[in-house]
Structure 1
Amino acid sequence: MLLVPLGLTALLSFNAFDAATGAQPGTFTLDHYLQIARDDYYHGIFWRTFWISALVALICAVVGTAEAIVLSRMSQPWRSVLLLVVLAPLLVSVVVRAFGWSMLLGPEGVLNTVLQAIGIGRVRLLYTEWAVVIALVHVMLPFMVIPVWTALQKLDPQVENAALSLGASPFTVLRRVVLPQVTPGVLSGSLIVFGLSASSFAIPGLLGGRRLKMVATIVYDEYLHELNWTLGAAVALVLLVANLGVLVSLNRLVEARTRRALG
């Protein structure tokens, strides 16, 4: 179910394309990959996709770790209430959430109405990169909170108490005891958020507009608008390989630093 579709997509990406007849089965060409490698248009789209994904992962790591720490220290029933609040976005369709953010960030939305009321004036947010970042953070935050919260459940509270009894401040305990031990959870959440953000389609398509392209929207356009399935398959394979390269490199880097930090 996983390898066969990927294999067929890979084979399709090496087929020649004719505007009149479409893909040419049985042919072999590297033209689509050479076009992606040489064209600055695709370079810009891949760069935009990855820096937005990295920024979303960074924001989610900071906010999600703080939320998970607060969540782990709450008592019932407030812990269950806050956990439900964190998971609530997962219960709503991503398309509905995207339309909700378009209403909030639009020219006549709530945010611009407030800015106008306090004298700042309207700010163009919809159909910009920042609109995509804001919406992706909202969508991806639960995928960061849950791994970090799970890692926090494995911590022994007595270790924190021992550090406090030896004169460490609460901030030092957080920095030297808690955070190094939840780094695997932060890493897992960051990898999930980065991968899902890089391949996200609905949020960039609805909040980015037709001019603000990301890789997933390019694949959609090539498949359904240009009917150039071979080029769309090549772009999708390049995204997959690049995404895996970034995730594996980040995983090895953070794991090496974690081993050194924990001795």
Structure 2
Amino acid sequence: MNRSSTTPWLLVSPGAVLFAGLVIVPLVLTVILSFLTYNYDTGIGDGYTLAHYGQILSDGYYLDIFWRTLRLALLTTLLCALIGMPEAYILSRMRKPWRSIFLLVIIGPLLVSVVVRAFGWSMLLGSTGLVNAALGIVGLGPVKLLYTETAIVIALVHIMLPFMVIPVWTALQKLDPMVEAAAWSLGASRFTALRRVVMPQVSIGLLSGSLIVFGLSASAFAIPGLLGGRRLKMAATLVYDEYMQELNWPMGAAIAIIVLLANLVIMLAYNRAVEARARRALG
């Protein structure tokens, strides 16, 4: 093997070793852990079993939490798309220096810890928070928002929105504004030009943003833990409870593997569907 053929392998080997050490090895160990037996008296055993997976997939308690996680992640992704796409479109049409200012406003919350933002939303949505205080001023009674699915979705949309805006805005930066203007000159309305010209061009950005938002929302821990409370669990908080509260590490590992596989299946299916639609739209 000559030097020219070994150079690419030498260049990628540090990244490959780092990826294997930080991702592949822990994932393999988690899979092995999920099959180990467990007894509350003696702890983790040396044998292997499928009982953890059978219990998870047959128990309505776990299935309800999985369904809640999927539902809230999909709702968060949909709301981020509905809010983020117009926001990215407006941002792409701004001129300097307003574009830089509003871009800083969009990505600014990423500089603040998720825990800090979660506590901020808990103070806003609490029974004595600003939201209920504003409702009291207009004559409406206090509304229970904290420790509900509504609170989780509101906070997740606030946190995940930049991950939707940035990919869509990046895709819009590659679109020539004259193409949209040409559609107007040919008699298309602004809505038709937006739907038939702009939307197919930004579908890849929308796909990237949707996958990021869905993956992060489905695996979110701080927001459901702080705004959902102990009773309103999601997949990540369930894994935490199995590891830290029940000390049943094989069960927690099995839950984590099931959530990972479900996310991969959903994201790959969505990826294929959106890419196929984009290819048809773009010819």
Scaled by the length of structure 1, the TM-score of the pair is 0.98
1:196 alignment partner, one of 212, 216, 229:
216
Q: What is the number of equivalent residue pairs in this alignment?
A: 262
Please give the alpha-carbon distance, in whole angstroms, between the structure 2 residues aligned to 1:23 and 1:196: 30
> 1:210 maps to which residue?
230
Confirm or deny that 1:184 pairs with 2:184. no
> 1:35 maps to which residue?
55
Confirm or deny that 1:4 pairs with 2:47. no
Deviation sequence 1:78-123 (CA, Å, 0-9, x none):
1011000100110000000000000000000000001011111100
> 2:256 maps to which residue?
236
1:127 alignment partner, one of 131, 147, 165:
147
Q: How does 1:45-56 map to 2 (within 5 A)?
A: 45-56=65-76
What amino acid sits opposite 1:29 in the alignment?
Answer: T
Q: Give the gaps of 5 or more residues in structure 2.
A: 1-21
Please give the alpha-carbon distance, in whole angstroms, between the structure 2 residues aligned to 1:218 and 1:168: 51
Deviation sequence 1:137-173 (CA, Å, 0-9, x none):
0000000000000000110122112111111122211
1:21 to partner: Cα distance: 2.1
Moved over 3 A (4+): none
2:161 alignment partner, one of 120, 141, 153:
141
Please give the alpha-carbon distance, in whole angstroms, between the structure 1 residues aligned to 2:78 and 2:270: 13
> 1:93 maps to which residue?
113
1:18 alignment partner, one of 29, 35, 39:
39
What amino acid sits opposite 2:124 in the alignment?
Answer: L
Please give the alpha-carbon distance, in whole angstroms, between the structure 2 residues aligned to 1:181 and 1:69: 12
Give the greater-gyration-radius structure (CA): 2
What amino acid sits opposite 2:191 in the alignment?
Answer: F
Q: Give the gaps of 5 or more residues in structure 1.
A: none
Deviation sequence 1:45-78 (CA, Å, 0-9, x none):
0000000000000000110111100000001111
Please give the alpha-carbon distance, in whole angstroms, between the structure 2 residues aligned to 1:23 and 1:141: 41
Please give the alpha-carbon distance, in whole angstroms, between the structure 2 residues aligned to 1:42 and 1:221: 12
Confirm or deny that 1:107 pairs with 2:127. yes
1:257 to partner: Cα distance: 1.3
Please give the alpha-carbon distance, in whole angstroms, between the structure 2 residues aligned to 1:194 and 1:141: 11
- Between stretches 166-175 and 30-39, larger displacement belongs to 166-175
What amino acid sits opposite 1:4 in the alignment?
Answer: V
* Percent sequence identity over aligned pairs: 66
> 1:220 maps to which residue?
240
Please give the alpha-carbon distance, in whole angstroms, between the structure 2 residues aligned to 1:161 and 1:107: 50
When the two chains are superposed, the root-mean-square deviation of aligned CA atoms in Å is 0.7
